[in-house]
């Protein structure tokens, strides 16, 4: 049941009244009883905050936050280990906007009462370090379930998040589990990997000239790439008023679609997606071909090649081998900026690099796509420009958005560490790991918690930016910290 769409006028009225500080709160409520009764009751409710709040409390079950702090003084590793049970949920039935899945899963924490696609990979790294492999298996099976049920992995297991996906880390999850349980894992999930790929490549056959269709981009030279794309052009329910108050600066920009597509990137929000770094209304995500997305799809193609080798289907294996080879060549041709020595996103219409210098440049190194000489230039830049006292800054732009400077995010520290290790920059890898871990430890010592993001420049200041306060928990921070803690 997508109750938000079924009683949308009521949803709009409640959100517009700003009864709750966080617009996600009402989107997470669960209707009590049938929707027709709720419609009838709402007709009699006076339009003021008090009466509207009373209505919500009578006709909806209110959500509870997953706020987790260190109430008793323990070490950080012990604290994280104790959090896994707090952050583990097992919701098998659809409830309100929540999409049930058959097995247990780990939540990020705070306001996030559902699991998120790409977050989960980094959480799994910590589960592996904690010896909780059965939970990794459960989460992978849940993602396969969603692919088979919905046709793809949504942004998170909420109906209001199911118009879009997130960075496609599913193949890396399956690969992680196969390293533990063997190649049978690849065979068990091969049909879901294939369906995941079909989702990202939908619309490819309809492209006959350079341009974009759904999430596929046909380039001038006939190469195929991908973009982030949410087809819905209406305010996000979880950020209804933030979106509804915006006015696009140009008629040809469908601002809600652009913002939603930025959410599919996982980097919501960042100057990466904006014409003007200080103006979110200039977001143009759908006109950008992102380097990280295309690298992840390269890995998916390589994983499918491996699946078909195991299945003994040489022809299909060769087909995916060629897809991956073509994409690797495309990545090195279109995303490399020789003047800056970085991989950058590609502006489809302008036919050039976008100006944003970000940690997305690390993905070709993370997944062994970059030639050695280019990788060294990228890592030199990371060392000189991005690495600070508290880890790698997400970008060089201080836009006020949360996926920009000075913020340091757990997943990008892991990607930076692996990228440096892949190209024998062991000293830099160690610095990335140690600087960020020290940052996390400092915040934990003073506040008794792990948070969603950190300030890379001044570790005494909380990370800011975004549409909501920095959240406690926190799934991927826990995961990456534990992964780093197991390294010598």
pLDDT one digit per residue (tens) for the chain, 488 residues: 799 999 999 999 999 999 999 999 999 999 999 999 999 999 999 989 999 999 999 999 999 866 566 566 789 999 999 999 999 999 999 999 999 999 999 999 989 999 999 999 999 999 999 999 999 999 999 999 999 999 999 999 999 999 999 999 999 999 999 999 999 999 999 999 999 999 999 999 999 999 999 999 999 999 999 999 999 999 999 999 999 988 765 566 699 999 999 999 999 999 999 999 999 999 999 999 999 999 999 999 999 999 999 999 999 999 999 999 999 999 999 999 999 999 999 999 999 999 999 999 999 999 999 999 999 999 999 999 999 999 999 999 999 999 999 999 999 999 999 999 999 999 999 999 999 999 999 999 999 999 999 999 999 988 988 888 888 889 999 999 999 999 97
**Rg of the Cα trace of the chain?**
22
pLDDT at residue 467 in the model: 83
Q: Can you list the positions of beta strands (E) in 118-178?
A: none
48 to 7, 26, 59, 300, 313: CA distances (angstroms): 19, 16, 17, 51, 65
157-188 CB burial, b ≥16 within 10 A, e <16: bbbbbbbbbbbbbbbbbbbbbbeeeeeebbeb
Residues in the chain: 488
Measure CA 88 to chain center. Answer: 19
Contact at 8 Å (CB) between 359 and 413? no
pLDDT at residue 249 in the model: 55
Distance (Å, whole) CA 70 – CA 79 = 7
Say whether 452 is catalytic: yes
Q: Which CATH number fits domain 76-229+287-367: 1.50.10.10, 1.20.1600.10, 1.10.3720.10, 2.40.30.20?
A: 1.50.10.10
Residue among 487, 17, 6 at smallest CA distance from 240: 17
Say whether 268 is catalytic: yes
Contact at 8 Å (CB) between 404 and 452? no
Cis peptide before 385 (omega within 30 of 0): no
Contacts 24+ apart (CB under 8 A), 421-428: 422/365, 422/366, 422/368, 422/375, 423/365, 423/370, 423/372, 423/375, 423/376, 423/379, 425/376, 425/379, 428/379, 428/382, 428/383, 428/387
Residue among 449, 440, 446 at smallest CA distance from 410: 440
Question: Which positions ≥6 away from 81 have C-beta within 8 Å?
Answer: 130
Among all chains, which residue has been given the structure tokens 């390294």?
487
Q: Which two tokens stand for residue 383?
A: 């060392």
Among all chains, which residue has been given the structure tokens 């699946």?
307
Distance (Å, whole) CA 357 – CA 354 = 8
Residue among 171, 95, 170, 90 at smallest CA distance from 135: 90
Phi-psi region of 466 (alpha: psi -120 to 50; beta: other; left: phi over 0): left
Contact at 8 Å (CB) between 151 and 195? yes
Domain with CATH 1.50.10.10 in the chain: 76-229+287-367
Cβ count near 360 (within 10 Å): 27
Q: Which two tokens stand for residue 389?
A: 């006292």
Cβ count near 49 (within 10 Å): 11
Q: Which residues pair with 395 in a beta bridge?
A: 358
pLDDT at residue 64 in the model: 82
Considering the candidates 264, 268, 404, 472, report the single residue annotated as catalytic.
268
Instruction: Determine the straight-line distance between the first and last CA of the chain, rounded to whole angstroms.
Output: 49
Question: Which positions ≥6 away from 443 have C-beta within 8 Å?
Answer: 449, 450, 451, 454, 459, 462
State phi, psi for 376 to the nearest 5 degrees: -65, -35
DSSP annotation of 236 reads -
Taking the CA of residue 286 as centre, how many other CA atoms within 13 Å lie in the half-sphere pointing to its CB? 21
Considering the candidates 81, 243, 305, 452, report the single residue annotated as catalytic.
452
What is the dihedral angle through the alpha carbons of 39, 43, 47, 50, rounded to the nearest 10 degrees? -60
For every residue of 93-114, DSSP letters joined together read: S-BTTB---SS-EE--BBTB-S
């Amino acid at each position: 049941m997508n109750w938000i769409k079924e009683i949308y006028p009521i949803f709009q009225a409640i959100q517009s009244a700003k009864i709750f500080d966080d617009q996600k709160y009402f989107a997470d409520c669960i209707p009590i009883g049938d929707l027709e009764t709720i419609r009838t009751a709402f007709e009699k409710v006076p339009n003021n905050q008090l009466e509207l709040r009373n209505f919500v409390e009578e006709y909806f079950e209110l959500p509870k936050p997953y706020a987790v702090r260190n109430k008793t003084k323990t070490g950080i590793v012990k604290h994280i280990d104790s959090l896994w049970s707090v952050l583990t949920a097992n919701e098998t039935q659809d409830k309100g906007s929540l999409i049930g899945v058959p097995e247990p899963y780990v939540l990020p924490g705070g306001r996030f009462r559902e699991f998120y696609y790409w977050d989960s990979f980094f959480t799994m790294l910590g589960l592996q370090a904690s010896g909780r492999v059965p939970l990794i298996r459960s989460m992978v099976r849940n993602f396969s379930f969603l692919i088979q049920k919905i046709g793809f992995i949504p942004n998170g297991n909420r109906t209001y998040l199911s118009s879009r996906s997130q960075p496609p880390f599913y193949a890396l999850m399956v690969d992680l589990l196969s390293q533990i349980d063997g190649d049978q894992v690849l065979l068990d999930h091969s049909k879901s990997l294939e369906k995941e790929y079909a989702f990202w490549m939908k619309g490819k056959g309809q492209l006959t000239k350079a341009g974009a269709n759904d999430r596929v981009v046909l380039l001038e030279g006939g190469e195929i790439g991908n973009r982030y794309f949410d087809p819905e052009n209406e305010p996000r329910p979880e950020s209804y008023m933030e979106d509804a108050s915006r006015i696009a600066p140009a008629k040809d920009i469908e601002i809600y679609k652009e913002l939603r597509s930025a959410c599919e990137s996982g980097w919501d929000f960042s100057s990466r997606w904006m014409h003007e770094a200080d103006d979110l209304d200039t977001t143009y995500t759908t006109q950008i071909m992102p380097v990280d997305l295309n690298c992840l799809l390269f890995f998916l193609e390589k994983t499918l090649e491996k699946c078909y080798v195991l299945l003994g289907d040489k022809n299909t294996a060769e087909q995916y081998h060629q897809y991956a080879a073509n994409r690797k060549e495309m990545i090195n041709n279109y995303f490399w900026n020789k003047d800056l020595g970085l991989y950058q996103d590609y502006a489809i219409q302008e036919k050039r690099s976008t100006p944003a210098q970000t940690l997305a440049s690390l993905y070709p190194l993370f997944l062994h796509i970059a030639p050695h000489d280019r990788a060294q230039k990228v890592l030199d830049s990371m060392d000189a420009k991005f690495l600070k006292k508290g880890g790698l800054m997400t970008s060089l732009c201080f836009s006020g958005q949360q996926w920009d400077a000075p913020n340091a995010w757990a997943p990008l520290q892991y990607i930076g560490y692996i990228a440096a290790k892949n190209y024998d920059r062991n000293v830099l890898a160690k610095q990335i790991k140690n600087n960020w871990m020290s940052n996390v430890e400092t915040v934990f010592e003073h506040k008794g918690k792990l948070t969603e993001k950190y300030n890379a420049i001044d570790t005494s200041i909380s990370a800011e930016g975004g549409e909501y306060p920095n959240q406690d928990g926190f799934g991927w921070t826990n995961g990456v910290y534990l992964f780093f803690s197991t390294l010598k």
